[in-house]
Structure 1
Amino acid sequence: MILWFTLAQVGVAVLAGLVAITAGLIGRRPGDVTVGSLALIELLLIAQIVVAIIAPFAGNPPTGSLLEFWTYLVSAALVPIAGAAWALLERSRWSTVVMGVAALAVAVMVWRMHQIWTVQIA
């Protein structure tokens, strides 16, 4: 994984999570900003999938478990989709909070993927 890209993904996910949780707690329903931020997180995760496929061929092989890494990556890619689907089905202030929690969960998962890729010794 690429450190600056990981930090960008974590930063976007944390910012999106905090905005969505704050919006939900003050009573806002899902809107363009909150759903759009989850869409941005999803696009970054799709880019991460491409990076994870190309990186070993470019001389950046993982040091940890590939199975664990890909399980995190696929799961993380499904979390924003599930959060947005929930928000579009329920349309309440709590679904906005759920989207925020989903974004924060993705931030943690992306950081763990970076640890698996770079820190562990296989």
Structure 2
Amino acid sequence: MILWFTILQLVVAIAAGVVCVVLGLAGRRPSDLTVGGLALVELLLVAQIVVAVVAPFVGNGPTGSVLEFWTYLVSAALLPAAGVAWALVERSRWSTVIMGVVALSVAVMVWRMQVIWTIQVA
């Protein structure tokens, strides 16, 4: 993984999560802002999948468990889509909060992926 890209993903996911949670607790239903924030998180995760496929071929392989890394990455990539689907089915303030929790969960998972890729020794 690339450190600056991981930090970018963390900043975007945390910002999207905080915005969604605050707006949801304020009583706002899902909007273009909240769904767009999760869409941006998803776009960055898709880019991370590409980076994770290419990186070992250019000499930047993971030091931890490859299976654990890919499990985190695939799970993290599925979460925003599930959160947005939930928000589109149940258009309430709580679905906005759920999208925020999803974005914050993705932030934790991205950091864990960085740790697996760079710090752990298999």
| TM-score in terms of structure 1 length | 0.99
Alpha-carbon distance, 1:58 to partner = 1.1
Alpha-carbon distance, 1:35 to partner = 0.2
For 1:14, the equivalent position in structure 2 comes to 14
Structure 2 residue 45 is matched with structure 1 residue 45: yes
Q: Which runs of 5+ in 1 are unaligned?
A: none
Structure 1 residue runs of 4 or more that deviate by more than 3 Å after TM superposition:
none
For 1:33, the equivalent position in structure 2 comes to 33
For 2:68, the equivalent position in structure 1 comes to 68
Letter of the 2:109 partner, please give it: M
Alpha-carbon distance, 1:28 to partner = 0.3
- Identity rate, percent: 73
Taking the aligned partners of 2:36 and 2:14, their CA distance within structure 1 comes to 14
Taking the aligned partners of 2:85 and 2:108, their CA distance within structure 1 comes to 21
Aligned pairs, number? 122
Taking the aligned partners of 1:24 and 1:86, their CA distance within structure 2 comes to 14
Alpha-carbon distance, 1:98 to partner = 0.2
Cα deviation 1:56-111 (Å, max 9, x = unaligned): 11110100000000000000000000100000000000000000000000000000
RMSD: 0.4
| TM-score in terms of structure 2 length | 0.99
Alpha-carbon distance, 1:33 to partner = 0.4
Taking the aligned partners of 1:44 and 1:67, their CA distance within structure 2 comes to 21
Taking the aligned partners of 2:37 and 2:103, their CA distance within structure 1 comes to 9
For 2:116, the equivalent position in structure 1 comes to 116
| 3-state secondary structure, aligned to 2:120 | coil
Taking the aligned partners of 1:109 and 1:16, their CA distance within structure 2 comes to 15
Alpha-carbon distance, 1:29 to partner = 0.2
